[in-house]
Amino acid sequence: MIDDVVKILKEADQPKSDFVKLMDSFKDPYPVLIACILSLRTNDKTTYPAALRMLELAKTPHDMKGVKVEDLAKAIYPVGFYENKAKQIIELSRQIDEELDGKVPDEIEELVKFKGVGRKTANLVLSLGFNKPAICVDVHVHRIFNRLGYIKTKNPEETEFALREKLPQKYWIDINTLLVTHGQNVCKPINPKCAQCPIEKYCKKIGVRG
């Protein structure tokens, strides 16, 4: 079942959000990391231009640590908690530059030591920044896999560990982009477009009303 679902979603003509395209374009773990921090509690339409403005100020930990907090805060406004995020990004950049020889860690256990970095962000850094098998579980991944009936979990962290046990590793890197795109366009939290869904026949519609 999962092989068919992934194949269909890869072939589906669903538009990616600008922020998803931005994240997919990164080949360096550092911009993935700081753009992820911006995205927390902020919608894609706000995060995308804010990330571009941020990267105009600096693109490396060494350069970013020298940016003034007020200048970064102004650049990333109006993302949620923009002043706190500016301080967090500059301090994180200092740690990477001065304590880690300018290199972003490539292990989840090390990434989550940074203030404000959780497993979702750490997994995305590993998958998009390092091309290492990792499952980034956000609200879309959690919701859709539970709706499909593929797993039964209560929160994103449970979903990550359930998928680590069940989802073939060859799909780990791609699954976040595929399901975020599908979730934004079709399998929405409220009033999902089931009639337009290319994987409807595989879906048990757990929790879907109507």
In sequence order, what are the residues at sequence separation of 6 or more whose Cβ sits closer than 8 angstroms to the Cβ of residue 202?
1, 4, 5, 148
CB-based contact 24:177 (threshold 8 Å) = yes
Which one is catalytic: 68, 138, 193, 201? 138
The distance in angstroms from the start CA to the end CA of the chain is 24
DSSP assignment of 83-123: HHHHHHHHHHHHHHHHHSTT----SHHHHTTSTT--HHHHH
In eight-state DSSP terms, residue 170 is: G
d(CA 179, CA 160): 14
Check 120, 132, 204, 205 and give the catalytic one: 120
Known catalytic membership, residue 24: no
Active site annotation includes 120: yes
Q: Please list the active-site residues.
A: 120, 138
